[in-house]
Amino acid sequence: MPAFRHPFLPNAGEQQKAILAKLGITSVEALFKDIPSKFRFKGKMKIPEGLSEIEVRRHIEMLLEKNSTPYLSTSFLGGGVWPHMVPEVVHSVTSRTEFYTAYTPYQAEISQGMLQALFEYQSLIAELVDLPVVNASMYDWASALGEAALMTSRLTKRSTFLIPEFIAPNRKAVLATYTAPANVSIQRVPSNPVQGKLDLERLKEMMSSEIAGVYLENPAYLGYLEPDVDAIAEIVHDAGALLVVGVDPISLGIIRPPGDYDADVVIGEGQPLGNGVNFGGSLLGIFACKDDRRILRQMPGRLIGLTTTTEGERRGFVMTLQAREQHIRRERATSNICSNQALCAVAAAAYLCTLGPTGLRRLGEQIMQLRHYMERQMSKLDGVLAPRFQATHFKEFVFSLEDRKERRLSILALMKKISQEKIFGGIPLNLEFPKLGESALVCVTELHTKRDIDKYTASIQQALEVE
Amino acid sequence: MSGFRQARWNEPLVFERSKIGTIAYSLPAVEKEVQKALPKPIESIPPTLRRQTPPELPELSEPEVLQHFVRLSQMNYCVDLGLYPLGSCTMKYNPPINERIVQNPYFSWLHPQQDESEIQGILQILYELKQWLAEITGMNQISLQPAAGAHGEFAGALIIRAYHAENDELATRREIIVPDSAHGTNPASAAMAGFNVVVVPSNNDGQVDLQALQSAVSKRTAGLMLTNPNTLGLFEQKIESISEIIHDVGGLLYYDGANLNANLGRVRPGDMGFDIVHLNLHKTFATPHGGGGPGAGPIGVKGALSPFLPTPLVSFDGTKYYLDKERPKSIGRVHGYLGNVLVLLKSYAYILHMGSLGLKAAAEHAVLNANYIMKCLEGVGGYSIPFAPDTWRMHEIVISAKPLLRDTGISARDVAKALLDRGLHAPTFYFPAIVEEALMIEPTETFSKEELDRFIEALREIAEQAYDNPDLVSRSPQHTAASRLDEVRAAHPRTMALSWRMYQKRSKSQSTTQA
Ligand SMILES: Cc1ncc(COP(=O)(O)O)c(C=O)c1O
């Protein structure tokens, strides 16, 4: 039988013979003799025969084209992953084989490029959120929230964590998964039904010596801004708890950074910073904290530090404070995380360098203008309440169908209807938050134009009229 | 000498390159009517929430941004350059076709909250990938949600927890056992899932000590986490007895799939008695590691445990693919969406490209390469090959530089650094901890005999140099972008700088204390 050959396997033919000869064996079978024969897999795995490159590509393209993709239409879907432009230069950076085919920079001397890029990521996010310590990434926003809750519990030795009433259900679900084994209980702080913001009176009542941390999001999951941040920080800190704030980093060119209102920990989803939507993965969990030794020692994840060569001549970068991590501290580590989302962090770094302070401000302004325009157009529609919350929003808002006797169309049916025109209209909220009625969360970004928005409102109007 | 010289740009931090007024962004114009509706958007923000000072991001032009990062990239070794024999990390070839495939706009613009009818293509891909991984591992049901190996371990440990909770035994089953050679994530994941960790030693053959295991188990045992082949590259031959010992006391057997590469098509964890496995797709299934991530750490379980898998689960009802969310016994979600789908898609392409014969051949080539290195290093002065002499290794080998240290003062770390100077990545060193001066070498199937010879020759040359002129070795690396770095300075409270702003603050306070 001729030897099996494959383009990814260099040691075919002569070389394989030479290797076998060096080992003094005639067949590779000899190497596997330690596997008890009882367990040896006989036969052939039921997976496809190998295909050629063209076939692989064609097959996958064929499958992917079965998707109905916003690429050829207009998407107003956000809620945690959002459509934003990815500048081509960012893609050029992350396509460098030196970055993407490297492992974790364990050997600092030969991995300075990745280390510096990650240090720059940490530094850029530090400027954005206004906190000096940022780790080299978590898996996503949701797991960052789970880790943040655990961290507040370790730091305060308390075991209740407060979250806002309106939080993304998937984020809340991951939080519950992370906190259950540590017996940290999660409680919801009610929101003001009209403005969405946290109910401060209720928050005050709920604060006690049991509360480890309080979590708020700005902008909130439902798009509105949380204005009472200074008061919240005071309430939380007066009770000896920690304030954790979740952000959409792309808003921070114009929105006040949480470090400025005394947040102890800031988390968020870094995907908008130069990473595609990609069906919700891969994401970028942001994790930042104050420069406080107690907090720092409890931080999860990798940290890159700036240092010098041992001769002190040159600047250089290393992974540092590793005594917190699993490979040293094992079962007493602050987290089990090892591989993270490094390449997404490099994309974020390149993105922030591309936007710069003015680009990020202008982007924020522009997004707010487009969102405002959409809110306004939607509010003109008969039977539509837009925005649902009386508050300032950033790039997302909720609209509701007014509760009228003659209306039969549910929000789900409405979204389905306009999807026939290739409009992905928003995330229906009726299941997540029944008390919001027939509502949807809509997302507007710099990718949208007036035409897209007009088309959207026209489709909604039409769908409601023909009812 | 190898003649290798890594680029050594004096590349400043991107902040130090900033020139006020320069831009690299390009934003679309906003239509007049839209602008007019809200001419001053910032004034619509409540005053308590307006950003008063802009973030101190750098200001550069687009060519300068690219230049900066390309220069940085040139100071980074990668698997496309050559051997990257980090033991336990399986640094194999990352086929470029896979990078192309994930740029398909039908994927890259796909949103996870679209209606199921709109995402049938990607769900089919994920479903088939699950079927293939189940077949490869001998498990019954797979979840693709975990974003990395450790994330999979956490999910797996939670499944162990859920299983015992269902049997009303969680109160007593508090312990997870790990061998002393286990990766750090194993005990850390077990602890995160609320278990106490019990460590069992290895015996002189580098295998789990059965007697020690026997005395470690009890009704408190929740499970055992194991890699097979283990981190010494040895196949745990007593796996059947191990499995019996654990199952007899009612525990579950967990497989850390970081070392699966040697087993492809030869032996399956499910057949060996494992109840739960995680895989590292960024190792065994050829997805790039991205300089630290993203990876993917799917988990698989035996049928009885499948109700506990994370929710939602990609499923198929005979006509359409869907996300099964009706999973009352599930441990819940571990990821905001369906995991690192970008990575999953690349592994799908890889398996399709390799096929069953290709995967099996990959395992064989990987094992041949590891043993070739071991054979060539036999008798090379300065190194020893601890544990189990005359036993073939699987995907990796662990050698010890203890004789070299004793004779010359040159440590495993020094050897590793000297390899860098020769344009080779270092092996993992000082792991597993049961080998003194460990160098853990995993060549994978990707590298040619010539490249392996270059590595073997380099190890030989470094040992010779250590005997002749140890200073030369201990000064290495000299040809990399940086020579050895001051880790104490990096971690010291007074000099620690984890961001540009911390660096500036620390430098300022230092210069004032000096003044
Ligand atoms: C044996 C072993 N287990 C687990 C892990 C953790 O995997 P990940 O880095 O993907 O979280 C690794 C990776 O380094 C490993 O080598």
**pLDDT tens digit sequence for B273-292:** 999 999 999 999 999 999 99
- A435 inside domain: yes
Contact A5, B362 (CB under 8 A): no
For chain B, give the percent of residues with pLDDT over 70.
99
Tens-digit pLDDT profile for residues A403-461: 877 777 899 999 999 998 889 999 999 999 999 999 999 999 999 999 999 999 999 99
Name the one residue in this structure whose structure tokens are 């399709």.
B352
CATH of the domain at A255: 3.40.640.10
Region B162-186 average pLDDT: 96
Q: In this complex, is the C-beta atom of B480 within 8 Å of any C-beta atom belonging to chain A? A: yes
Interface test with chain A among B23, B36, B83, B107, by most A beta carbons within 10 Å: B107
Judge contact between A148 and A162, C-beta under 8 A. Answer: no
Residues A319 and A450 in one domain: no
Q: Which of B28, B78, B235, B126 lies closest to A107, judged by CA? A: B78
Please work out, in degrees rounded to the nearest 5, the angle formed at the alpha carbon of residue A71 by the alpha carbons of A66 and A75.
105
Q: Do B57 and A355 touch (CB under 8 A)?
A: yes
CA of B258 relative to ligand 1 center, distance in Å? 6
Rg of chain B over Cα atoms, rounded to whole angstroms, equals 26
- pLDDT for res B513: 60
What range defines the domain where residue A139 resides?
88-352
In a domain, A97, yes or no: yes
What does the alpha-carbon distance between residue B395 and residue B162 come to, in Å, rounded to a whole number? 33
Distance CA B320, CA B342 (A): 22
Q: How large is the angle between the packed helices A13-23 and B341-377, nearest 10 degrees?
A: 50
| Interface residue of A60, A234, A427, A448 to substitute, partner B, most B CBs within 10 Å | A60
Q: Do A318 and B106 touch (CB under 8 A)?
A: no
Mean pLDDT confidence for A344-369? 98
DSSP assignment of B419-455:
HHTTT-PPPEES-STTSTTEEEE---TTS-HHHHHHH
**SS3 call for B333:** coil
CA angle B276, B281, B284 (to 5 degrees): 95
Phi, psi of B187 (to 5 degrees): -65, -35
Q: Are B373 and B419 in contact (CB under 8 A)?
A: no
- Please tell me which residue, A419 or A272, carries the higher pLDDT value: A272
Residues A269, A381, single domain; the answer is no
Name the β-bridge partners of A427: A441
Cβ-count burial B484-511 (b if 16+ within 10 Å, e if not): bbbbebbbeeebbbbbbbbbeebeeeee
β-partners of residue B507 are none
- Which of these ranges, A228-232, A269-273, A310-314, B418-422, has the smallest mean pLDDT? A310-314
Residue B161 sits at φ, ψ, to 5 deg, of -60, -45
List of residues 6+ apart from A321 with CB closer than 8 A:
A296, A297, A299, A303, A305, B491, B496
Q: Which two tokens stand for residue A100?
A: 């993407």
Pairing of strands B276-279, B141-143: unpaired
The DSSP element (H or E) to which A357 belongs, if any, is helix A342-379
Residue range B309-345, pLDDT digits in tens: 999 999 999 999 999 999 999 999 999 999 999 999 9
User: How many angstroms separate the alpha carbon of residue A336 from the centre of ligand 1?
Assistant: 10
Q: Is B280 in the pocket of ligand 1 (CB under 6 A)?
A: yes
Does residue A103 sit in the same domain as residue A163?
Answer: yes
Neighbours of A119 (CB within 10 A): 27
Structural domain includes residue A58? no
What confidence category does residue A327 fall into, taking pLDDT thresholds of 50, 70 and 90? Answer: confident
Question: And the tokens for B313?
Answer: 């689960």
- The overall pTM is greater than 0.90: yes
Same structural domain for residues A335 and A371? no
Which value, to the nearest 10 degrees, does the dihedral of the CA atoms of residues A410, A416, A420, A423 take? 100
Instruction: Say if A126 falls within a structural domain.
Output: yes
CA dihedral A73, A79, A83, A89 (to 10 degrees): -170
B514 pLDDT higher than 60: no
**Which of these three, A337, A352, A367, is where a domain ends?**
A352
Report yes or no: A115 and A105 within 8 Å, Cβ to Cβ: yes
pLDDT at B470 over 80: yes
Q: How confident is the model at residue A3 (pLDDT cuts 50, 70, 90)?
A: confident
Are B267 and A15 in contact (CB < 8 Å)? Answer: no
The domain B356-490 having CATH identifier 2.40.50.100: the answer here is no
Each residue of B414-443: pLDDT tens digit?
999 999 999 999 999 999 989 999 999 999
Helices (H), A33-191: 53-64, 88-94, 97-100, 112-129, 141-156, 169-179
Element spanning A186, H or E: strand A185-189
Is A130 in the same domain as A268? yes
Residue B148 Cβ < 6 Å to ligand 1 = yes
Same domain, A298 and A373: no
A339 lines ligand 1 (CB under 6 A): yes
How close, in Å, is residue A449 to chain B by CA atoms?
8
**Shortest Cα–Cα distance, B414 to chain A (Å):** 12
Which residue is associated with the tokens 């980074």?
Answer: B76
Domain identity same for A338 and A303: yes
Mean pLDDT of chain A: 95
Burial class (CB in 10 A: 0-12, 13-18, 19+), A262: middle
| Strands, E assignment, B44-195 | 141-143, 175-179
pLDDT of residue B87 exceeding 50, the answer is yes
What would the mean pLDDT of A232-238 be, rounded to a whole number? 98
The single-letter DSSP state of residue A4 is P
Q: A264-268: long-range contacts at Cβ-Cβ below 8 A with a sequence spacing of 24 or more? A: A264/A152, A264/A213, A264/A289, A264/A290, A264/A292, A264/A295, A265/A148, A265/A151, A265/A152, A265/A213, A265/A289, A265/A290, A265/A295, A266/A129, A266/A131, A267/A138, A267/A141, A267/A144, A267/A145, A267/A148, A268/A129, A268/A141, A268/A144
A369 plus A440 within the same structural domain: yes
From A327, A352, A377, the end of a domain falls on A352
Task: Establish if B433 touches chain A: CB-CB under 8 angstroms.
Answer: no
Confidence of residue A43 (pLDDT cuts 50, 70, 90): confident
Domain segments of chain B as ranges: 14-76, 101-109+119-353, 356-490
Same domain flag for A119 and A149: yes
Please report which confidence band the pLDDT of residue A72 belongs to, taking 50, 70 and 90 as the band edges.
low
β-pairing verdict for B276-279 and B438-441: unpaired
What whole-number distance in Å separates Cα of residue A45 and Cα of residue A41? 9
Specify if A41 maps to a domain. Answer: no
Report residue B103 as tokens: 């740029």
Q: In this structure, how many other beta carbons lie within 10 angstroms of the beta carbon of residue A12?
A: 16
CA angle B350, B443, B407 (to 5 degrees): 165
Q: Does one domain contain both A155 and A264?
A: yes
Average pLDDT, chain B: 96
Task: For B214-261, give the secondary structure using H, E and C.
Answer: HHHCCCCEEEEEECCCCCCCCCCCCHHHHHHHHHHCCCEEEEEECCHH
d(CA B144, CA B149): 11
Domain termination site, one of A322, A352, A382:
A352
Question: Distance from B406 to chain A by nearest Cα, in Å?
Answer: 24
What average pLDDT does range B346-363 have in this prediction? 97
pLDDT of residue A1: 44
* Parallel, antiparallel or unpaired: strands A285-289 and A133-134: antiparallel
Q: Which CATH code is given to the segment(s) B101-109+119-353?
A: 3.40.640.10
Q: What pLDDT is stored for residue B509 in this prediction?
A: 80
pLDDT at position A36, please? Answer: 95
Contacts A75 to B, Cβ<8 Å = 109, 111
Q: What is the pLDDT of residue A467?
A: 64
Cα–Cα distance for residue pair B323/B340, rounded to 1 Å = 16
Q: Give Cα B32 to chain centroid, integer Å.
A: 50
Query: Once rounded to an integer, what is the mean pLDDT over residues B120-136?
Result: 98
- Judged on CB neighbours under 10 Å (0-12, 13-18, 19+), B3 is exposed
How high is the pLDDT of residue A74?
A: 84
**Three-class DSSP category at A250:** helix
Query: Are A252 and A360 contacting, i.e. CB atoms less than 8 angstroms apart?
Result: yes
> Percentage of chain A surpassing pLDDT 70?
99
**DSSP secondary structure letter of residue B375:** H
Q: With beta carbons under 8 A apart, name residues in chain B contacting A123.
A: 13, 15, 499-501
CB pairs under 8 A between A and B: 724
Ligand 1 contacts CB of residue B227 (under 6 A): yes
Does residue A92 lie within any of the structural domains? yes
What confidence category does residue B486 fall into, taking pLDDT thresholds of 50, 70 and 90? very high
Taking an 8 Å cut-off on Cβ atoms, the answer to whether A373 and B33 are in contact is yes
How many independent structural domains does chain A possess? Answer: 2
Statement to judge: residues A280 and A140 lie in one domain: yes
Residue A33 lies in a domain: no
Q: Determine the length of chain B.
A: 515
Can you tell me the distance from the alpha carbon of B437 to that of B453, in angstroms, rounded to the nearest whole number? 22
B369, A19: Cβ pair inside 8 Å? yes
Instruction: Tell whether A109 and A255 lie within a shared domain.
Output: yes
- A324 within domain boundaries: yes
Looking at the DSSP bridge assignments, the partners of residue A75 are A424
The span from the CA of B343 to the CA of B357, in Å, is: 22
Q: What is the DSSP string of B470-506?
A: HHHHHT---SSSS--B-HHHHHSTTT--SSHHHHHHH
Laid out side by side, the sheet with B175-179 consists of: B141-143, B299-301, B276-279, B252-257, B221-226, B175-179, B196-200
d(CA A25, CA A22): 8
Cis peptide bond N-terminal to B179, omega within 30:
no
Q: How far apart are alpha carbons B160 and B299 in whole angstroms? A: 13
